[in-house]
Structure 1
Amino acid sequence: MRLAAYDNFDELEQCQSAWDRLADRCVFRTWRWLATWWRHYGSEDPRCRLHVVVARDADEQVLGVLPCYVHASAISGRTLRLLGDGEVCSDHLGLLAATDNRGQVADAIADALLSDPSWDALDFAAVDDGEPSTGLLLDRLQQRGCHVDTRPEQSCWTIDLPDSWDEFLAMQSKSHRKQLRRLDSRILQTDSAAWRHAATAEDFSIGWDVLEDLHQRRRQSLGEPGCFSWPRWRAFHEDIARQLLAAGELRLSWLELDGEPVAAEYHFARGSTVFAYQGGLSPEAADAEPGRLSLIACIQHAIGEGRRQFDLLRGDEPYKAHWRATPQAVHRVLAIPPRFAPRVRYRARTAIRNAGRWVQQAARLFS
């Protein structure tokens, strides 16, 4: 097996189709998502250096990709992170590897990382518990002397979709089933409601404006700034959403009641899965339950397309279990190589963090 580390995305163009094959159904692992993320979040940041490791066999077939970058700071040192992390909140990140070669790829990349002194810590966010390829890599690093620490994050929640809406309703509790039927028949199936989705560039322009407006109004009504107030987040998502529209993987929709937009959804569809990423609601229409109405329409559409999973992504909001979604544990993983300077830095950071917690606890105790 031959490994190559890349610090320029242009040199990785030849890997795009193999990369997407290894990404499988997950939109957040694809070349398109991660290359666009790097262009907006990493390429112009002097603290960041691309570090993508590609594993190939003797016939030059790509067997694995570790899509990373190194972020340098005075406090944390040089930290190896997964592309797509941070404020974008990409889920299901990790090592991409062919099923039959996971062990070999994990061994080879672990050896390569430990022979590379250009990083001081590995900090991977949003790693699914039990994700096989990343799990093997972390095991191999630990076996080779790395200190590995895992910390729980909020779970990812997924609804397993049946073949029909009636079967989906049968999955719900009696009271929830009654509520969904009432909302569907009394509102969604009437002339007062119109559910629209973006199929063209013109549709996209309309829907994107609706999404931004409803998202910002909803978040600001809760005293929050809203994601569209973050310039890089906004630029990244408008860029990637247009690409996904062209690829047939964007599911941008909005619901109108009596001609007025009251809810919008920004979802993705790849393979058998719809990923429910972001949305917005009209605060003034809260009594009409626009969020629930919009979710009904989106799930009905996903079932109609033959999707098998509706991924509600990270976050332990109570409504997810109510819709019969099941949780998948997610961890943030930290690994420290068996070198003197990184170990000292890690112990110092841990001591400072523990001291800060003690001060907070003491303040609460005596307040």
Structure 2
Amino acid sequence: MLRTLDAPLLERWDALALACDAAPFLRPGWTAAWARAFGRAGALRLLTVERGGDLVAALPLLTSPFGLRSPTNGETALFAPIAADSEAAAELGDRLVALRTPAIRLDALPGEDPHTAALPDAARRAGAAVLVRPLRRSPYIDVSGDPVAFRKGLSKNRRHGLRRLQNRMREAGEVTLTVHDGRGDDDLEPLLADGFRLEAREWKRAAGSAILSSPAAVDLYTTGARWAAGAGILRLAFLRLDGRPIAFGYCLQQGGVLFFLKLGMDDSLAKLGPGVVFTQHLIDYAFADPGTTELDLLGENEAYKADLADGTREQVRLQIFPSRVAGPAQRAAVAGAGLLRAAVVERLTEGTRDRLSAVRNRLRR
């Protein structure tokens, strides 16, 4: 059933997410913050499966005349169905395909998750056309072991470069890592202001991808921080030099995982490598917490992450075209457009790609 949200349903959704150890981005607090920030709160619905009066599966969706899609955009770290077991996931897939809609598009799905696989499986059983395409591979670090062994496992160049930057930093002043959870004496507003300022690096402003480039993004990460602080999962980490914040990480910590969403740094101190030193401090922080087993670096598998990561997880885009008559043609058209777009982008100059990327980032927001 595709249901309009109310307070009791939100509570049941959150209870299911916690019981299933779902990522914080799948909880209603974060989803509602996203929907409000990007003007889609009125279109947000929840597809549900109940068993004996208990909620056993849920999938938030946005409605439109053109079909259904996930509440996701360029600011989304992860999206997935929540299900208590494989049977609930399969029924959720059946109910999704049974909805009378022209098309369904779900982004940022974990490609190797069995509950995610239940959605295209249900669509194929129903005779719908299905298109699954890779979006990115997201890196992570296993922090359940020995931090000394982790450091020894890094490349020689990485270890040497880190030691050099740490020595430079110590020579410049006192270096500390402080982590704030938004409770007690923590005042969120100035902490977020410092963090957003550090995150708004010049190249990110030029590309339109900085948080401060978009009022909607500021709303998301501010409202999301307030919700996460109330839920006890907010972690705003700052690397400070003589008390001055020089690098920042916007993180959420839940279920043994530290999710690293945003990185910022003071580029005027580039010679000290504030981003590199901060990331290593955050890794040390995660290793030192006995309740944390993983540092999820999220996003794309960029070079600085790939050097640290123990592995990656694929995220995919799932598109379903339920009509047995028009569905195959819709799928072919979408797949063909994707191939054409990739071919055109391949021929563009780097400068043109950067300008188009900036426009795309603004449109996504």
Question: 2: distance between equivalents of 1:54 and 1:241?
Answer: 27
- Retained in 2: the 8 A contact 1:122–1:334? yes
Question: 1: distance between equivalents of 2:115 and 2:313?
Answer: 16
Residue in structure 2 matching 1:5, options 2, 6, 15:
2
Residue in structure 2 matching 1:128, options 83, 92, 110:
110
Cα shift at 1:303? 1.4
Question: 2: distance between equivalents of 1:244 and 1:140?
Answer: 34
Code of the residue aligned with 1:340 in structure 2: it is V
1:56 — aligned with what? Answer: 50
Question: 1: distance between equivalents of 2:247 and 2:347?
Answer: 45
- Retained in 2: the 8 A contact 1:151–1:332? yes
Could you state the TM-score of these two structures normalised by the residue count of structure 1?
0.83
Paired residue secondary structure (1:314): coil
Cα shift at 1:218? 4.0
Which moves more between the two structures, 23-32 or 173-182? Answer: 173-182
Residue in structure 2 matching 1:86, options 64, 69, 73:
73
Paired residue secondary structure (2:201): helix
Question: 2: distance between equivalents of 1:196 and 1:217?
Answer: 21
- Retained in 1: the 8 A contact 2:238–2:245? yes
Q: Does 1:156 align with 2:143?
A: no
Kindly report the root-mean-square deviation, in angstroms, between the aligned alpha carbons of the 2 structures: 2.9
1:65 — aligned with what? Answer: 58
Residue in structure 1 matching 2:306, options 317, 321, 334:
321
Paired residue secondary structure (1:145): coil
Question: 1: distance between equivalents of 2:161 and 2:346?
Answer: 44
2:354 — aligned with what? Answer: none
For the structure 1 residues 190 and 271, does the alpha-carbon distance in structure 2 shift closer, same or farther, using more than 3 Å as the test?
Answer: farther
Cα shift at 1:170? 2.6
Code of the residue aligned with 1:154 in structure 2: it is R
Paired residue secondary structure (2:99): coil
For the structure 1 residues 334 and 22, does the alpha-carbon distance in structure 2 shift closer, same or farther, using more than 3 Å as the test?
Answer: farther
| Larger CA Rg, structure 1 vs 2 | 1
* Deviation per residue, 1:298-319 (Å, 9 max, x gap): 1111112221111111202111
Question: 1: distance between equivalents of 2:253 and 2:348?
Answer: 48
After superposing on structure 2, the runs of 4+ consecutive aligned residues of structure 1 that deviate more than 4 Å are 42-45, 181-186, 188-191, 220-225, 341-364
- Retained in 2: the 8 A contact 1:221–1:283? no
Point out where structure 2 has 5 or more consecutive residues left out of the alignment.
350-365
Point out where structure 1 has 5 or more consecutive residues left out of the alignment.
none
Residue in structure 2 matching 1:240, options 210, 224, 227:
224
Code of the residue aligned with 2:319 in structure 1: it is L
Question: 1: distance between equivalents of 2:171 and 2:232?
Answer: 27
Q: Percent identity?
A: 23
* Deviation per residue, 1:259-315 (Å, 9 max, x gap): 432211111111111111002111110010000111111111111222111111120
1:19 — aligned with what? Answer: 16
- Retained in 2: the 8 A contact 1:197–1:203? no
Question: 2: distance between equivalents of 1:273 and 1:360?
Answer: 36
For the structure 1 residues 204 and 168, does the alpha-carbon distance in structure 2 shift closer, same or farther, using more than 3 Å as the test?
Answer: farther
Code of the residue aligned with 2:325 in structure 1: it is F
Question: 1: distance between equivalents of 2:141 and 2:347?
Answer: 42
